[in-house]
Chains A and B, each alone.
Chain A
Amino acid sequence: MTRARDDLGLGRALGERMLPLVVAAMSFLAALALAGSVGAAALAQRWQEGAASVLTVQVPHPATPAGDQPGQTRVERVLAILRGTPGIAGARPLSEAELAELLRPWLGSGAGRLALPLPAVVEVHLSGAGPDIAALGPRLEAAAPGATPESHGVWVRRLSALARSLEACAWVALALVAGIAAAMIAIATRSGLAVRRDAIEIVHGLGATDGIIAGRFAARATRMTASGASLGALAALPVLLVLADLAAPFAAVGAQPANPGLWFTALPLPLWIALAGLPLVAALIGWGTTQVTVRRWLRQLP
């Protein structure tokens, strides 16, 4: 049984008591960056999966006979053209109820009762690289003047690029936070070494190996960084929950509705795992940085 010993008087250094607080602040920032990264990644994925493969075509005056095939209505003709185009997996006209639901925010629930000439809206599911929109346009125009294919792909690509950039920024922020934390730990360790120079020389003279001395410092740094990071992650939690609550209306479109009773489902699982991992990663940074710093410093002793 080995009781942790404080041969080097590490517990008495006032300056290093700041370290857990600094690490807590770093960990708080890291938690925010992680949330940004996880959130941006989820949004990018959702946009790509949901909207990238969808194209809508508006057909004004859908019941009017088609321009190029008078035997068919315009909407029937548009559907036939779309279904015969390579790169299109399927085309389906939205029902009146779906249309009313889409328009409700603008026209209110009585949209159907208004005597407005509503266009038909065809939802097109793409396959592979999708159709040649430039060639499709004139054919649709000939069949149903005013029919415009509206590709979400361009917007989705832009939004995805934005989300990916945000994700990359979050990772850069995380790397910076980790680097700054390591630098702070190294500085604190070096000042701790300078203060205890006499004690280290004595212990070194009694036959302590570099491993023993570095191990004492590293064990203490590991404890301090782990506790500091736990504190920071805990402090970030309410902030993240509020952010998740604010983001819920955007994230929940088309997804399962958030259950307000279960607060732990408010954050995605990867974020929970990342938050729990923060103290571990911080401890690892603390341990590694201290080991390297102390061993390098000890080189000045024979």
Chain B
Amino acid sequence: MIRLDAVGLHYVQGAGPGPEVLRDLTFVIPEGGFRWLLGPSGAGKSSLLRLLHLAVLPTSGRLSLLDVDVGATGRHNLALLRRRIGMVFQDFRLLPHLTAFDNVALPLRLAGQPEAQVRAHVTEMLHWVQLGRKLEARPAQLSGGEQQRVAVARAVVGRPHILLADEPTGNLDEVQSERLMLLFKEMNRLGTTVIVATHNEALVQRHPGQSLRLEHGRLVDHD
């Protein structure tokens, strides 16, 4: 369950508060829900995803993720909460000095999973995104699409309760995009709450679903 109650966000700029990027957001996404996150560039989609990933905390209002009131929780518990949220970044955010395998293994290792289990899960996941032969490649040796698939694998390998994706198909061809949507839908069917931000109208039309539409940091449509 994701619950926002009059949530606002402005980044700090110098000594004072910067412009408000999200304003008065109030909505609820039930557990196992699926939402497209739509809106023009600069509408605040990435900021909302950062907020839901706890990379930033709301500057006003109340945010509750997986029944945890974020504003009333300590640092340690926020870190544990992040382990239950998978995120696919638009710019992938892979660690350049680690191999594809080690990048995908990172969430499992941080969670302290036994190495044998890590090996099995990561290998399976990378095979699924068709990178089974590039386990030892570093991000710089991979194409944009391949890096995106590593980022997806890293986001879902820990079976997160919430999956956030920022333009996850931006570097993928149609076939790969369809495969990715199948993965997201399958995870959603198994109970993961999924939010996908995209500009790809064709993708949205092929996979109709409920959507959140942002404009100028405000929610203009929530169906």
Contact = CB atoms under 8 A, between A and B. Distances in A.
Nearest to B106: A206
A29 B85 CA distance: 51
A71 interface: no
A208 B111 CA distance: 8
Contacts of A205: 53, 55, 82, 87, 93
Interface stretch (A5-13, A82-90, A231-239): A5-13
B110 to A, nearest CB: 5
Contacts of B83: 206-207
Contact of A302 (B54, B98, B111): B54
Given A207-B80, A302-B54, A212 B110 contact: yes
Interface in A1-42: 1-3, 5-7, 9, 12
Given A205-B82, A210-B79, A302-B55, A12 B109 contact: no
A198 B139 CA distance: 15
Contacts of B79: 204, 207-210
Contacts of A210: 75-76, 79
A12 B78 CA distance: 29
Contacts of B102: 5, 7
B1 interface: no
Contacts of A201: 55
Nearest to A5: B109
A302 B115 contact: no
Contacts, number: 64
A274 to B, nearest CB: 39
A206 B110 contact: yes
Contacts of A7: 95, 98, 102, 106, 109
Contacts of A133: none
Given A205-B55, A207-B83, A302 B95 contact: no
A188 interface: no
A212 B97 CA distance: 19
Given A203-B110, A208-B110, A9 B97 contact: yes
A80 interface: no
Contacts of A199: 95, 97
Given A207-B82, A302-B55, A302-B57, A202 B111 contact: no
A254 B83 CA distance: 71
A251 to B, nearest CB: 55
Contacts of B97: 6, 9, 12, 199
B82 A9 contact: no
Contact of A9 (B57, B93, B95, B107): B95
Contacts of A12: 97
A301 B216 CA distance: 25
B56 interface: yes
Given A206-B106, A209-B79, A1 B98 contact: no
A92 to B, nearest CB: 75
A298 to B, nearest CB: 8
A1 B114 CA distance: 8
Contacts of B56: 302
Nearest to A1: B115
Interface of B: 53-57, 75-76, 78-84, 87, 93-98, 102, 106-107, 109-111, 115, 154
Q: Which 6 A-B pairs have the closest CB atoms?
A: A207-B83, A207-B82, A9-B97, A209-B79, A302-B57, A206-B107
Given A207-B80, A210-B76, A302-B55, 20 more contacts: A1-B115, A2-B115, A7-B98, A7-B102, A9-B96, A9-B98, A12-B97, A198-B93, A199-B95, A202-B93, A204-B79, A205-B55, A205-B93, A206-B83, A206-B110, A207-B79, A207-B81, A211-B76, A302-B57, A302-B78
30 contacts: A1-B115, A2-B115, A3-B115, A5-B102, A7-B106, A9-B96, A9-B97, A199-B97, A202-B95, A203-B95, A203-B110, A205-B55, A205-B93, A206-B82, A206-B106, A206-B154, A207-B79, A207-B81, A207-B82, A207-B84, A208-B110, A209-B75, A209-B76, A209-B79, A209-B80, A210-B75, A210-B76, A211-B76, A302-B56, A302-B57
